[in-house]
Amino acid sequence: MGGTDRIPFNRPHVVGEEFAYIQEAISQGKLSGNGVFADRCARWLERRTGASRAFMTPSCTAALEMSATLAGIEPGDEVIMPSFTFVSTANAFVGRGGVPVFVDVRPDTLSVSAAAVEAAVTPRTKAVVVVHYAGVGCEMDEIMAVARTHGLLVIEDAAHALLARYRGRELGGIAQLGTLSFHETKNIHCGEGGALLVNDPALVQRAEIVQEKGTNRARFFRGEVDKYTWVDTGSSHLTSEVATAFLWAQLERAEELTSGRLAIWEAYHEAFEPLEAEGLARRPVIPDEADHNGHMYHLLLPEAELQMPVIEALKRDGVHAVFHYVPLHSSPAGRRYGRANGELTVTDDVSARIVRLPLWYGLTDDEVERVIRGVVNAVTTVSPAARRPRAESPRPEAPHPGESGRAPLLDTTRTAR
């Protein structure tokens, strides 16, 4: 069917050297954690981000769990974070009895503000987790200042943000701790993978122990202690050389992979300018302080009622677009384990209006054109229909963003095409 093949939301890119490096790892005869390839990846991350030490982990989730341990989270300790994020941001802290305190995000960047963080501080607050949504940096100077005033540890969930900068500084390398994801949906990947960036030198030694199942194995191998034993809590937060060998191939091409994504991002951004001018969609907002990494492209539709019809219309055109996140403060586990600090109006509103478009390295010019045409078509045909004045009888209930079931499409959307 050639040109009408479906365009997936994500397709994990393979640069080509992965297999050779995996073979090299195998021939070295050591495949467990912190081997030659993990070392190469970690030193690369340290050079790039300025971290005191980088630890290669099985996932960003695992790096967040290490962070919760290093932050000394105890039952009842509050951790301020956005509700508009992936579940792992919260789950890692809940696992140690921490209480997520969800705050709202800025309407422009969709990331937390220093003011929202400060308003949520209580005597029980222990830490703050910020998420650099879409690789666009949070207002880190202001957030770090609030944290210093209240004696809080800050963790950057930089899962989206590898090679993105805020005021010239690499994201993930600014707060005491930063976490990265190498999941296949992220800019640089190894299927499943992650890293913990320890930027505060005082936390490095304990991080080594936490990563190595609570043992001082790392010190033993450096000859600093004469036996290797259980000294603290920890887990197996190590990753196999098979994964880091794969990852090394991608890190070597990190610049190229990032600029490839940025080019697609720019093409979308330019093409949707007229939609924004007509009030049919709002494009991402990038503050002057932020150099982003083209991690994702989203549009905000003018009304929540349009979200599912637009996604459905794109699907009929063979374009797989998605919405996210289901806000954590309204999720079953978020309600059980955390609490919202006040009304999270931006979070609720944005999650009901957002549409994320396919964006991956290797998307061809032709495919980018098809996505653009599909979006323009969907937005311009669905919008007027869904905006018609309501009839006497109440409309069927608007689809909840958390339900992937079919939206109640209005008949007119089809005839309008």
CB closer to ligand PLP, 78 vs 157: 157
Closest contact distance (angstroms) between CB of 61 and ligand PLP is: 3
Closest contact distance (angstroms) between CB of 347 and ligand PLP is: 14
CB closer to ligand PLP, 139 vs 157: 157
CB closer to ligand PLP, 153 vs 379: 153
Q: How far is CA 306 from the centre of its chain?
A: 25
Sign of the dihedral defined by the CA atoms of residues 376, 377, 379, 385, in that order: positive
CB-CB contact of 54 with 208 (8 Å): no
Closest contact distance (angstroms) between CB of 157 and ligand PLP is: 5
- For residue 230, list its beta bridge partners: 215
CB closer to ligand PLP, 182 vs 248: 182
- Distance, in Å, from the CA atom of 146 to the CA atom of 149, rounded to the nearest integer, reads 5
CB closer to ligand PLP, 156 vs 367: 156
Query: Can you say whether residue 177 is alpha, beta or left, with left for phi > 0 and alpha for psi between -120 and 50 degrees?
Result: beta
- For residue 54, list its beta bridge partners: 197
Question: Checking DSSP bridges between strand 99-103 and strand 153-157, what pairing results, if any?
Answer: unpaired
CB closer to ligand PLP, 38 vs 159: 159
Q: Which residues bind ligand PLP (CB under 6 A)?
A: 59-61, 85-86, 88-89, 131, 157, 159-160, 181, 183, 194
CB closer to ligand PLP, 187 vs 383: 187
Q: What is the CA radius of gyration of the chain?
A: 22
- Distance, in Å, from the CA atom of 235 to the CA atom of 214, rounded to the nearest integer, reads 6
Q: Letter for the amino acid at 148? A: R
CB closer to ligand PLP, 59 vs 341: 59
Closest contact distance (angstroms) between CB of 91 and ligand PLP is: 9
Closest contact distance (angstroms) between CB of 68 and ligand PLP is: 13
**Does residue 114 sit in helix, strand or coil?**
helix
Residue 339: what are its φ and ψ, rounded to 5°? -150, 155
- Distance, in Å, from the CA atom of 133 to the CA atom of 378, rounded to the nearest integer, reads 25
Closest contact distance (angstroms) between CB of 300 and ligand PLP is: 19
Closest contact distance (angstroms) between CB of 110 and ligand PLP is: 11
Give the number of C-alpha atoms closer than 13 A to the C-alpha of residue 45, restricted to the C-beta side.
35
Alpha-helical segments (H) within 172-277? 204-211, 217-221, 241-252, 254-271, 273-277
**Does residue 161 sit in helix, strand or coil?**
coil
- Distance, in Å, from the CA atom of 248 to the CA atom of 44, rounded to the nearest integer, reads 9
Closest contact distance (angstroms) between CB of 275 and ligand PLP is: 26
Cis peptide before 337 (omega within 30 of 0): no
In the sheet with 165-166, reading across from the earlier edge strand, the strands are 169-170, 165-166, 290-291
Q: Letter for the amino acid at 364? A: T
Closest contact distance (angstroms) between CB of 184 and ligand PLP is: 9
CB closer to ligand PLP, 55 vs 413: 55
